[in-house]
């Protein structure tokens, strides 16, 4: 009996995998049904539904990039401190001295790539008409995931705390100042006052809410850090779960119904 | 102009050598494909394989690659570079107008010529042409400064990727449309048995993950993530740019105020995207590529994605320099470049030019109601035009060009669709008005931050 057979025959192995290796038809079905990570998939699928020229694989790559971002992001969180005193220097050290500082490069490039793959995934879903009934609402969830992907990238852009970061966030968040009714330079904001007392000022408008201050400063760094590392990823994870679940419930990967 | 920087250095020439080597290898494979697929052409009374022309081209690329990789004692004297005459010609004709016209023209050409473009040979020639254009352009210092920024590299990649997938989707769509026209089953309906997910899907996912990981690690090694000087709220960089995926929105600031370009129009984009499944009543084209069965839906979406989103990002990233002025692809980003802004509002045009009088102004110290009345009187024409655009055009479209849509969609769906289309069209309309009449605002009420 070889070592491999001994291990596969042991009680520990069997308690984890519950079935023999997926080398015959029966066990190839069973593996899909009993493995937690694989049970996202159906057991069998239409051949053309997974043809590369049809799906482009972009949704799957997006999900994989999200996992890459999570793993590299957690590693970076061990190292990076989101304060004015340390933020820039920690990134500088990641570049120049830290072992595996390449995690920052991978994190940033995977983030850019994820924005692009989300667009291409939507592009493919649109061009194959895969948003049509019964999949309408899953497209809506997909649009929400697009917004959250952009927000993840936007909040992460600030964290290196260099010139590129704060000015990109300044330019981007200046728009919020002009929000109708809710920005202090937005149309209609003047109407929101009680007895001549303005409710919407530069200390209470949409931009202030976003930045946690009147300009991009320490409060913004903390706020964006929490949004980037905790708040948005949690929502994204939930929406991804719903998105995948609905793909299965709505008849699997897009094909003529 | 003073030549501050050399266009060509030894390392640039060497780097381009690798690009030409890649092109050489790609085309060597293409020769093999061409030999088996393309047949012969008649020349001098006898058949010559088409592949031999590709072989000549590949051989030429091989020589160009060798010339680059073996280098030159004096990089400044290296001959293979973008001709200066071409560069200055491109710079002199490029501007927002020609850029937007070009991107819309390309979009129309792709749709009209789709059956021709999807031929593999045509696609291959276009790919080669764009890569050689990029390689030659990299011999220009100013071009390299912008395109070679680490954060801009993904945008260049995105351009090629978007072009490739647009080509691929049209190739599938044209094939399906031709099959339908001939009464044959769709491509995806042939050879479409059920197969097991293990191993067929699980293994391709694994391979895909390995490839993506390898790509990311290689990318991370070759290109360092950007890190500029420490943040300083006192030193504003010029130009100040948002992250690259928002540069299409930043470009809209040229034509609309922040409340429109930064809040209302982006919100309309998202609402419009979410509304798509509920306003597209066409049951055809569910689960396969087609163009003929969904002409309106696909053209509208492609117009929004390619010229209005991707091309605007390219414009905002590569061609907008200090003070958000336009610069040609080979032009030096001169901070002192001046552009005359002499734009007029509809109200100024009406009161000064047409009525030949002063603008109505509320008497000093009058109550807010009177002031508001004067403001509305001053801007009456612009307000009327805006109202007509959003309220009169939809019913007008319902009884004319979109008559069939209106009948099938019903009132609410049609109103949503027509307003979304009108909001989308408001950007190109404002662009054209700006370029042809120097129009600044249709409605200009800075007192209320309400400029359209």
Task: Report how many Cβ contacts below 8 Å link chain A to chain B.
Answer: 262
**Residue B449 forms contact with A (CB below 8 Å):** yes
Residue A124: how many CA atoms within 13 Å on its side-chain side?
24
> Does one domain contain both A145 and A242?
yes
Average pLDDT, chain A: 92
Residue B249 with chain A: CB contacts under 8 Å: 175
> Does one domain contain both A208 and A245?
yes
| Mean pLDDT confidence for B324-341 | 88
Residue B180 with chain A: CB contacts under 8 Å: none
Residue B204 with chain A: CB contacts under 8 Å: 50, 52, 57
**What letters, b where the CB count within 10 A reaches 16 and e where it falls short, cover A159-193?**
bbbbbbbbbbbbbbbbbbbbbbbbbbbbbbbbeee
Please report the pLDDT score of residue B215 as a whole number.
Answer: 96
What is the percentage of chain A residues whose pLDDT exceeds 90? 61
> Does one domain contain both A71 and A123?
yes
CB B244 within 8 A of CB A164: no
CA–CA separation, B114 and B112 (whole Å): 6
Domain contains A166: yes
- 3-class DSSP assignment, residue B281: coil
CA angle, A239 as apex, A236 and A243 as ends, to 5°? 130
Work out the minimum CA distance from A127 to partner chain B, whole angstroms: 6
Furthest CA-CA distance within chain B: 94
Pick the closest to residue B51 from B62, B63, B40 (CA basis): B40
Please report the pLDDT score of residue B1 as a whole number.
Answer: 45
**Residue A188 forms contact with B (CB below 8 Å):** yes
CA–CA separation, B211 and B334 (whole Å): 42
Domain contains A256: no
What sections of B71-190 are H helices per DSSP? 84-93, 96-112, 114-117, 120-137, 141-147, 153-181
CB B68 within 8 A of CB B80: yes
**Relative orientation angle of helices B197-222 and A25-34, to the nearest 10 degrees:** 60
Please report the pLDDT score of residue B135 as a whole number.
Answer: 94
> Does one domain contain both A116 and A180?
yes
Tens of pLDDT, residues B3-57: 567 788 888 898 899 999 999 999 999 999 999 998 888 888 888 889 999 999 9
CA–CA separation, A217 and A83 (whole Å): 10
Tens of pLDDT, residues A210-220: 999 998 999 99
The DSSP symbol for B330 reads: T
CB A149 within 8 A of CB A114: yes
CB B293 within 8 A of CB B282: yes
Contact map slice: A 224-243 vs B, CB within 8 A: none
> Does one domain contain both A175 and A237?
yes
Work out the minimum CA distance from A10 to partner chain B, whole angstroms: 24
Q: Is residue A47 exposed (0-12), middle (13-18) or buried (19+ Cβ within 10 Å)?
A: middle
Q: Across the interface, which of B188, B226, B449 has its CB nearest the CB of A186?
A: B449
Contact A48 B199 (CB under 8 A): no
B190 pLDDT more than 80: no
Q: Residue B43 pairs with which residues in a beta bridge?
A: B46
Name which residue leads in pLDDT, B369 or B171. Answer: B171
CATH number assigned to the domain comprising residue A143: 1.20.810.10
**Residue A42 forms contact with B (CB below 8 Å):** yes
DSSP characters for A69-110? HHHHHHHHHHH---STTTHHHHHHHHHHT-TTTHHHHHHHHH
Tens of pLDDT, residues A12-60: 998 998 888 888 999 999 999 988 888 889 898 888 888 888 899 999 9
Contact B263 A28 (CB under 8 A): no
A114 pLDDT more than 90: yes
> Does one domain contain both A151 and A179?
yes
Pick the closest to residue A69 from A228, A214, A196, A183 (CA basis): A228
Domain contains A254: no
> Does one domain contain both A69 and A195?
yes
Domain contains A235: yes
Name which residue leads in pLDDT, B394 or A198. Answer: B394
> Does one domain contain both A232 and A157?
yes
Residue A122 with chain B: CB contacts under 8 Å: 273
Name which residue leads in pLDDT, A89 or A21. Answer: A89
Instruction: Report phi then psi at B9, rounded to 5.
Output: -125, 165
What is the percentage of chain B residues whose pLDDT exceeds 70? 99
Residue B162 with chain A: CB contacts under 8 Å: 120, 123
Please report the pLDDT score of residue B4 as a whole number.
Answer: 60
Tens of pLDDT, residues B393-425: 999 999 998 999 999 999 999 999 999 999 999
Number of H helices, E strands in chain B: 20, 5
Q: What is the domain extent for residue A191?
A: 51-249
Q: Across the interface, which of B198, B245, B449 has its CB nearest the CB of A150?
A: B245
| Mean pLDDT confidence for A87-108 | 94
Q: Across the interface, which of A161, A163, A175 has its CB nearest the CB of B262?
A: A175
**Cβ atoms within 10 Å, residue B52:** 15
DSSP characters for A47-75? GGGG-HHHHTTHHHHHHHHHHHHHHHHHH
| Mean pLDDT confidence for A233-245 | 97
Q: Which two tokens stand for residue A128?
A: 């194959």
> Does one domain contain both A8 and A77?
no
Sort strands A193-194 and A197-198 into parallel, antiparallel or unpaired: antiparallel
> Does one domain contain both A215 and A169?
yes
Q: Residue A45 pairs with which residues in a beta bridge?
A: B195
**Residue B81 forms contact with A (CB below 8 Å):** no
Domain contains A123: yes
Residue B209 with chain A: CB contacts under 8 Å: 64
Work out the minimum CA distance from B401 to partner chain A, whole angstroms: 24
| Mean pLDDT confidence for B130-143 | 94
Please report the pLDDT score of residue B3 as a whole number.
Answer: 53
Pick the closest to residue A95 from A80, A110, A111 (CA basis): A80
- Secondary structure of B237-262 in the HEC alphabet? CCCCCCCHHHHHHHHHCCCCCHHHHH
The total number of structural domains in chain A stands at: 2
Residue A45 with chain B: CB contacts under 8 Å: 194-195, 197, 200-201
Average pLDDT, chain B: 91
Start-to-end CA span in chain B (Å): 40
**Residue B261 forms contact with A (CB below 8 Å):** yes
Please report the pLDDT score of residue A252 as a whole number.
Answer: 80
Q: pTM to 2 decimals? A: 0.94
Contact B259 A217 (CB under 8 A): no
> Does one domain contain both A142 and A56?
yes
Domain contains A57: yes
A257 pLDDT more than 60: no
CB A54 within 8 A of CB B205: no
Q: Across the interface, which of A46, A116, A133 has its CB nearest the CB of B192?
A: A46
> Does one domain contain both A32 and A59?
no
Contact map slice: A 157-176 vs B, CB within 8 A: 157, 160-168, 170-172, 174-176
CB B106 within 8 A of CB B130: no
Q: Is residue B16 exposed (0-12), middle (13-18) or buried (19+ Cβ within 10 Å)?
A: buried
What is the percentage of chain B residues whose pLDDT exceeds 90? 69
CB A236 within 8 A of CB A121: no
Please report the pLDDT score of residue B26 as a whole number.
Answer: 96
Please report the pLDDT score of residue B160 as a whole number.
Answer: 95
CB B372 within 8 A of CB B366: no
**Residue B223 forms contact with A (CB below 8 Å):** yes
**Cβ atoms within 10 Å, residue B263:** 22
Pick the closest to residue A106 from B160, B207, B211, B224 (CA basis): B224
Domain contains A218: yes
């Amino acid at each position: 009996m070889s070592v491999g057979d001994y291990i596969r025959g042991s009680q520990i192995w069997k308690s984890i995998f519950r079935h023999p290796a997926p080398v015959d038809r029966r066990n190839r079905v069973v593996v899909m049904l009993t493995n937690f990570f694989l049970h996202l998939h159906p057991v069998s699928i239409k051949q053309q539904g997974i043809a590369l020229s049809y799906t482009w694989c972009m949704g799957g790559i997006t999900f994989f990039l999200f996992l890459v971002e999570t793993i590299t992001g957690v590693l970076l969180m061990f190292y990076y401190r989101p304060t004015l005193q340390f933020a820039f220097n920690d990134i500088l050290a990641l570049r120049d001295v830290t072992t595996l500082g390449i995690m920052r490069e991978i994190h940033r490039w995977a983030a850019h790539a994820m924005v692009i793959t989300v667009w291409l995934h939507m592009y493919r879903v649109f061009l194959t008409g895969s948003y049509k009934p019964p999949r309408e609402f899953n497209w809506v969830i997909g649009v929400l995931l697009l917004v959250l992907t952009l927000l993840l990238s936007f909040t992460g852009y600030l964290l290196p705390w260099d010139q590129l970061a704060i000015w990109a966030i300044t330019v981007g968040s200046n728009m919020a100042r002009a929000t109708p009714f809710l920005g202090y330079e937005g149309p209609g904001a003047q109407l929101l006052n009680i007895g001549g007392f303005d409710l919407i000022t530069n200390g209470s408008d949409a931009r202030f809410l976003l930045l946690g201050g009147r300009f991009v400063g320490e409060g913004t760094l903390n706020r964006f850090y929490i949004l980037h590392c905790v708040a948005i990823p949690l929502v994204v994870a939930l929406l991804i779960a719903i998105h995948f679940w609905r793909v299965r419930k709505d008849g699997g990967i897009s094909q003529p119904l | 102009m003073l030549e501050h920087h050399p266009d060509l250095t030894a390392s640039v020439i060497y780097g381009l050598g690798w690009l030409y080597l890649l092109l050489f290898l790609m085309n060597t494979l293409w020769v093999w494909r061409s030999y088996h697929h393309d047949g012969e052409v008649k020349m001098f009374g006898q058949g010559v394989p088409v592949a031999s022309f590709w072989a000549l081209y590949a051989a030429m690329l091989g020589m160009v690659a060798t010339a680059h990789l073996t280098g030159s004692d004096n990089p400044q004297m290296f001959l293979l570079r973008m001709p200066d005459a071409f560069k200055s010609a491109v710079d002199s004709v490029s501007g927002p107008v020609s850029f937007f016209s070009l991107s819309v023209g390309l979009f129309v050409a792709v749709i009209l010529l789709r059956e021709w473009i999807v031929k593999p040979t045509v696609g291959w020639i276009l790919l080669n042409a764009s890569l050689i254009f990029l390689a030659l352009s990299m011999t220009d210092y100013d071009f390299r400064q912008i395109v070679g920024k680490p954060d801009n590299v993904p945008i260049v990649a995105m351009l090629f990727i978007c072009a490739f997938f647009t080509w691929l989707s049209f190739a599938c769509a044209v094939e399906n449309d031709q099959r339908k026209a001939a009464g044959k089953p769709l491509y995806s309906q042939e050879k479409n048995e059920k197969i097991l997910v293990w191993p067929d899907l699980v293994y391709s996912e694994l391979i895909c993950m390995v490839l993506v990981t390898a790509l990311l690690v290689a990318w991370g090694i070759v290109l360092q993530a950007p890190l500029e000087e420490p943040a300083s709220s006192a030193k504003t960089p010029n130009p100040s740019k948002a992250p690259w995926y928002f540069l299409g929105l930043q470009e809209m600031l040229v034509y609309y105020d922040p409340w429109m370009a930064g809040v209302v129009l982006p919100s309309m984009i998202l609402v419009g995207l979410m509304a798509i499944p509920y306003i597209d009543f066409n049951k055809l084209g569910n689960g396969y590529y087609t163009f003929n069965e969904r002409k309106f839906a696909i053209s509208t979406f492609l117009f929004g994605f390619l010229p209005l989103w991707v091309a605007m990002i390219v414009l905002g990233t590569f061609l907008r320099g200090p003070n958000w002025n336009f610069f040609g692809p080979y032009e030096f980003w001169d901070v002192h470049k001046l552009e005359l802004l002499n734009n007029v509002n509809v109200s100024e045009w009406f009161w000064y030019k047409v009525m030949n009088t002063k603008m109505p102004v509320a008497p000093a110290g009058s109550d807010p109601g009177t002031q508001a009345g004067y403001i509305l009187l001053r801007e009456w024409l612009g307000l009327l035009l805006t109202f007509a655009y959003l309220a009169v055009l939809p019913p007008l479209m319902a009884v004319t060009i979109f008559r069939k849509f209106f009948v099938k969609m019903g009132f609410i769906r049609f109103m949503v669709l027509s307003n979304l289309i009108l909001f989308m069209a408001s950007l190109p309309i404002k662009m054209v008005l700006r370029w042809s009449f120097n129009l600044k605002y249709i409605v200009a009420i800075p007192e209320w931050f309400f400029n359209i």
